[in-house]
Amino acid sequence: MREFWKKLKSIKLAIALIVILATGSLLATLIPQGKASEEYFKLYPKLVAELVVQTGLNRFFSSILFLVPALLFFINLGACALDRLVRELRKKNKRRHGPDILHVGLLLLIVGGIVSFSGRQEGMVRLAAGESVALPNGEILHLIKFSDERYEDGRPKDWTSLVNLEKDGALLKENVEIRVNKPLRIGAITIYQNSYSAALAVAVSAPDGSVTTLARGESFEAEGVRIFFMTTEKKPGVETGEAQAVLRVQGGGLDGAVRVDSQGILVGRYAVATTQVLSTGLQAVSDPGYPFVLVSLILIGLGTALTFAQKLNDTLKEEKA
Amino acid sequence: MIATIGFILVIAAAAAQVVSLFRKGDKKESLSPWLMAAAAAAFLGVMLSRSVKIGFIALTSTYESLLFYSAFIMILDIVYRFQKKIHYSRIIGFGATIAALVLAAIASSPLLPKEALPPIPALRSLWLVIHVALSFVGEAFFVISFVASLAFLFTKDEKKKIDFDRITYTAVAVGYPIFTAGALIFGAIWAEQAWGRWWSWDPKETWAFITWLVYTLYLHVRLIMKKKNAAPSWIAVVGFLCTVFTFFGVNYLLPGLHSYG
């Protein structure tokens, strides 16, 4: 038993496992990860593809090739940390706890990684201004506005979703910005600005200046005019870019299917033209492992810094002596 | 223009050191530290001016990263030159200058885009700046450890071996915590904020992890092996090659989330 414990906590075992983990990780970066099996047969000769798929090198970080050495490393690190901690605590003076904190941080990081891997959930939603979505905690996220800021050269500068949070009709948070690098944290859920898209809509402008925007499938009725936005299609003769809307119109001097683009047409007293409506892509993430990871990162930082500081202090004292 | 002057100053510093390498005796050459200080100031000045121009800390493009990395290697080279705690070796000082020169030469290459562009939304983060800056500061120490470990492997003088081993170890011991904080800790925090995932096993992340494992290996092997053993020096060489691949190889050979940096 003593011999087994000695082997379990040995630095030699740690060294061997580090070499295995590093080599495996290196191989994993040379082989495309997470593709369908048939893709590997297109990429490599049959024997190599078979080897990659059967051994799990195509999904290395969730395969036993990685998980078994990682688990062994966790056990080895745990045994080593425990053994070292006990030894340090037995000392009357000159205790050096930097490596202990670092090792505990690494253990917690692995725990956080496992919790994250098994418990992380995410979902995507697309919202146009005025639309809402119900969050798992019962709150309603309402998009007020989405803005796509650009630099002068046209490159993206920032994407911002301005939202309200409501629950049971009461306003909880007003005009909250969700931007890239500035997610919104609501309890265990974090909402990220993930993407955006532009959809073709139809703007119906009345003589008084009021504008009604129709999404596909929506209709407008007034003064005996009925406009129904059926679908979109490419403009004939135009290979890329501009699309046009197909409407079913009744009244206003028109009857039947009518095609409209950004130039617009008149339907009775109403000007009808296509327009772009921006939709924000918000990603909701629940990662129960992240708090562990955050604490572990702080411990790792503290541990490495303390190890270095103590080592430097010892060296300086030695030199003085 | 200022970057070109900086580049010329690094060449001059390297040339001054070449001359001193052929001189006999232990006398330290005194011109190159000033030339390197001026070159580093020029590179950092270029970064400052670009920062003002783009309205953000200019450390988001390959060009800016190369200037920062090169400047910090030179600063470290100067600190190493003037410190009195560990043995100063002219060959290590020269090796570090050559590393700074190579990076400056790549930065000066006409193939590398140099236009000062403000960053895209994902890169507009202070966490990213800390992540990149600390990673390169850590890697600058690894440059010193690389040169010292090569010197260890090539020398037959036992006393020099002990000196070179100590320099390698000191550089790794200081660089490792900084690299850990930069590449792994602040990298994970930024990734969580920008992408909603603190670790994605993207090629750049994986190579940073491999680099970290190799230096972890170095520290543990050094712990159990004798100081004259060549194994830690070989590991320090491999570790540095990993940093080079993480920076250049991954950017140009393995596409992923970090393809822009």
Residues of A in contact with B201 (CB under 8 A): 28, 33, 61
Kindly list the distances between the CA atom of residue B205 and the CA atoms of A102, B64, B257, in Å, as whole numbers in the listed order.
20, 20, 9
> What was the pLDDT predicted at B248?
87
Percent of chain A with pLDDT over 70: 98
Contacts of B206 in chain A (CB under 8 A): 25, 28-29
Residues 6+ apart with CB under 8 A from A156: A148, A149, A150, B120, B121
**Residues sharing a CB contact under 8 Å with residue A320, sequence separation 6 or more, in sequence order:** none
Instruction: List the structure tokens of A243.
Output: 């699309």
Taking the C-alpha atoms of residue B248 and residue B261, their distance in angstroms, rounded to an integer, is 10
Distance from CA of A265 to the nearest CA of B (A): 38
pLDDT score of A313: 79
Q: What is the ipTM of this complex?
A: 0.89
Q: Please give, rounded to a whole number of angstroms, the shortest distance from the CA of B186 to a CA of chain A.
A: 9
- How does residue A3 score in pLDDT terms, banded at 50, 70 and 90? confident
Q: Please tell me the distance from the alpha carbon of residue A250 to that of residue A224, in angstroms, as a whole number.
A: 8
A15 vs B185, B203, B220: nearest CB: B220
Are the Cβ atoms of A113 and B199 closer than 8 angstroms?
yes
Report chain A's mean pLDDT, rounded to a whole number. 90
Q: Do A22 and B199 touch (CB under 8 A)?
A: no
pLDDT at A239: 61
Cα A244 to Cα A263: distance, rounded to the nearest angstrom: 10
Which chain B residue has its CA at the smallest distance from A297's CA? B185
> Which residues of B fall within a CB distance of 8 Å from A179?
121
Contact at CB, B195 and A192, closer than 8 angstroms: yes
- Region A301-318: mean pLDDT is 84
Residues B100 and B88: their CA atoms lie apart, in Å, by 18
Burial class (CB in 10 A: 0-12, 13-18, 19+), A54: exposed
At B261 the pLDDT is: 44
What is the C-alpha separation between B160 and B228, in angstroms, rounded?
10
For residue A111, count CB atoms less than 10 angstroms from its CB and return exposed for 0-12, middle for 13-18, buried for 19 or more.
Answer: middle
Contact A29 B124 (CB under 8 A): no
Q: What residues in A contact B121, CB-CB < 8 Å? A: 156-159, 179-181, 193
Per-residue pLDDT of chain B (261 residues; tens, 9 = 90+): 898 999 999 999 999 999 888 887 767 788 999 999 999 999 999 999 999 999 999 999 999 999 999 999 999 999 999 988 888 889 999 999 999 999 999 999 888 888 999 999 999 999 999 999 999 999 999 999 999 999 999 999 999 999 999 999 999 999 999 999 999 999 999 999 999 999 999 899 999 999 999 999 999 999 888 667 899 999 999 999 999 999 988 877 766 555 544
Spatial separation of the C-alpha atoms in residues B154 and B166, rounded to whole Å:
15
Condensed to tens digits (0 to 9), the pLDDT of residues A104-153 reads 999 999 999 999 999 999 999 999 888 899 998 889 999 999 999 999 88
> What is the predicted pLDDT for the residue at B105?
94
User: How many angstroms separate the CA atoms of A99 and B177, rounded?
Assistant: 12
Question: Residue A27 above 80 pLDDT?
Answer: yes
Contacts of B138 in chain A (CB under 8 A): none
**Angstroms from B15 CA to nearest CA on chain A:** 34
With cut-offs at 50, 70 and 90, classify the pLDDT of residue A9: confident
Under the banding of pLDDT at 50, 70 and 90, the label for residue A319 is low
- Residues A213, A275 contacting (CB under 8 angstroms): yes
Give the β-pairing of A254-260 and A243-251: antiparallel
